Every structure is written in C-alpha cells, then in structure tokens.
Amino acid sequence: MFSSILQTLPQVLIDGLALGAIYAVVALGYTMVYGILELINFAHGEIFMTGAFVGTAVLFGFQGAGWLTGMPAWLSYLLIILIAMLVTGALGVGIERVAYRPLRKAPKLILLISAFGVSFVLQDVIRFIAELKTGNYIISTPQLFDQRYQLPLSSISSWFTDASVKANTLFIFVIAILLMIGLDIFVNRTKWGGAMRAVAQDRETASLMSINVNKVIVLTFFIGSALGGSTGVLFAQQYGTIDPYIGFILGLKAFTAAVLGGIGNIRGAMFGGIVLGVLEMFASSNLGILTGGNFGAEYKDVFAFMILIIVLIFKPEGIFGKAIKEKV
C-alpha cells in the first residue's frame, strides 16, 4: 500500500500543484474582496468560469481569423489571457455597481443573497450564449501547447514511477507565480495598494484621509475579477473541457483555500490554495488504496468540504489570520 502511494507521488504532486496554483489565484479574488468589504463574493467562481469561456471564445476567434498560425503560440496565449482579464475585470466592476453597491448598508444576509443571484444569472447567461453559438454548453477547448515532457524518475530511484508534465502545467506555474508576485508588490508597495489596505482596515477613517473609498473598492473588484478570469483561461487550457457550472464548486474550494490560509490575507490565500490542491489530488488518487477500495475518488469533494468545516471549527481565523475580537 505504502509503496504504491509513493510510486505515484511525483505525478500527484505535479498535478496537485497545478490545481493548487489555480485555487490560489482564484482565492486571491475572494480574499481581496473580503478584506475590503467583508463580503464573500459568491459570484467570483462564476467570474472565473466566464474567464474560461471568454478565453475560449477569443481562441476560437483567433483560429477563425487564421492568426494562430502567424503568431507564436506564447504570444497568442498572452493575448487571450489579457483580453479575458479585461473582460472579467469589467464584469466584476459591473457586478459591484449593480448588485453590491446599492446594498452597502443592508444586512449581510441580503448581500449574500444578492451574490447568489448574480452567480446564478451568470451561469445561465453563459450557458445560453454557449448553447446558442455551438449547440452545446459543454465546450472542448483547443490547446495551444500540447507537448508533454517525461520526467524519468524511475531511473533515479526505483521507488517512483515516471511522471509527465504538460507544457501547459509549466505555463500555469509561471503565470500564477507572476500574478501572485505582481499582486503582492502592488498591494504592499504602491500608493493604490496602500489605499486598499487602508480601506480594508477602516473605511470611514480612510475616507477622512482623502481616499476615494468607492474608487478603491472598484479597483479591488477589477483586480480580483481579472485574476479570476485569467485563471479561468489557465484552467480551460489545462483541462480542455469547460461548462458553465465549473465555477461554483471550484469557487467554493477556492474559498476554502482562502479560509484555510486566513481570509483577508493574500499570502495565506496562496498557501491555502496550494495546500488544498495537493491534498485534493492526493485524496483523489489514493483514497481508494487507503480504504481498501471502499471509498474512491468520488469522495474527494467530501474531503475538501471536511477540511473547510474542520478549519472553521478549530481555527476560524485560518492558519495565517489574526483572530478578531468581536465588538459588542
């Protein structure tokens, strides 16, 4: 049992890290919005999904125009991601304007319900457009990079079997790391980043210090949603098939990652995402072996939600979060 787990471990780690990187970047969006508005932006999972669809649509557009053959693949990949980021960023800002801003003084429950509403509307609108254009809402994405690299691990030690890495997976790592570092620098080093941190800490005081709170909130939504959208493109490229309902569960898991790392904490979100991705991959490939075939990979989502519940019960502030005393 132990040796068979160990044998597949390198492959599990690679796949888990790829999934974890995706979770981490989506979790950043949750964490940023939560940090500023104390709102769980449920529609964020759907923004991620929209990003995947926009990216695929642009890719089809490039294909149709015959640009793909003329352009180096990495350039078109970059262009697709940029376009998806712009579209989803704008979408995020629009959602904030329509569904959240009128409710800024309303009770939390109402905001949450509005967020659910947005997420359902987005799912159906995207399904409708996809079905209208292609006749089916489950879409397979053409892949820009389909090479695979073999890692000859078995020649290093007989403990492992060979693992393989998709070229796409490498892209995911590179882009995710670039996005995360970029965001970290933006938030911690720039003037606007400082304003964001100030608003997150105390909205009223920040507004007294001549910070335009509304602008900062809009910016936060733009950046968070653009990050989510770009990850959607990465996801579509990595896994090849997308449908309008991928966003919800993935969003939940990304939220779990954000909670795991301490919501509102950007570095925590990255850490939580990676941990959750690796754990989930490990569970999906090894649960069957560990339980003697009684419970298989279909329980991997149960596993993820269990982690969420356990973290919330025992350490609700997350691994990197600070406990907040409630004001009476």
Q: Does 113 bind other proteins (CB under 8 A)?
A: yes
Coil, strand, or helix at residue 292? Answer: coil
Determine how β-strand 139-140 pairs with β-strand 241-242.
antiparallel
**What's the CA gap between 91 and 115, in Å, rounded?**
14
Q: Which of 123, 225, 284, 285 binds other proteins (CB under 8 A)?
A: 123
Closest separation between CB of residue 131 and other proteins, Å? 4
Closest separation between CB of residue 228 and other proteins, Å? 17
Stretch that binds other proteins, among 2-10, 62-70, 149-157, 301-309 (CB under 8 A): 301-309
Closest separation between CB of residue 120 and other proteins, Å? 3
Closest separation between CB of residue 306 and other proteins, Å? 8
Q: Does 94 bind other proteins (CB under 8 A)?
A: no
Interacting residues with other proteins between 44 and 73 (CB under 8 A): none
Q: Does 302 bind other proteins (CB under 8 A)?
A: yes
Question: Helix/strand/coil (H, E, C) string of 95-164?
Answer: HHHHHHHHHCCCCHHHHHHHHHHHHHHHHHHHHHHHHHHHCCCCEECCCCCCCEEEECHHHCCCCCCCEE
Closest to other proteins by CB, 71 or 106: 106
Q: Which of 208, 313, 323, 324 binds other proteins (CB under 8 A)?
A: 313
Interacting residues with other proteins between 152 and 171 (CB under 8 A): none
Please report the sign of the dihedral spanned by the C-alpha atoms of residue 273, residue 279, residue 285, residue 287. negative
Name residue, tokens 């720039």.
190
Name residue, tokens 């998806």.
84
Q: Which of 118, 163, 206, 270 binds other proteins (CB under 8 A)?
A: 118
Q: Does 204 bind other proteins (CB under 8 A)?
A: no
Coil, strand, or helix at residue 27? Answer: helix
Q: Does 237 bind other proteins (CB under 8 A)?
A: no
**What's the CA gap between 203 and 293, in Å, rounded?**
53
Residue pair 47/29 in contact by the 8 Å Cβ criterion: yes
Q: Does 132 bind other proteins (CB under 8 A)?
A: yes
CA angle, 117 as apex, 111 and 121 as ends, to 5°? 150
Closest to other proteins by CB, 10 or 35: 35
Q: Does 324 bind other proteins (CB under 8 A)?
A: no
- How many C-beta atoms surround the C-beta of residue 22 within 10 A? 25
> What are the residues binding other proteins (CB under 8 A)?
39-40, 98-99, 102-103, 106-114, 116-125, 127-128, 131-132, 137, 248-249, 252, 255-256, 259, 293-296, 298-299, 301-302, 305-306, 308-309, 312-313, 316, 326, 328
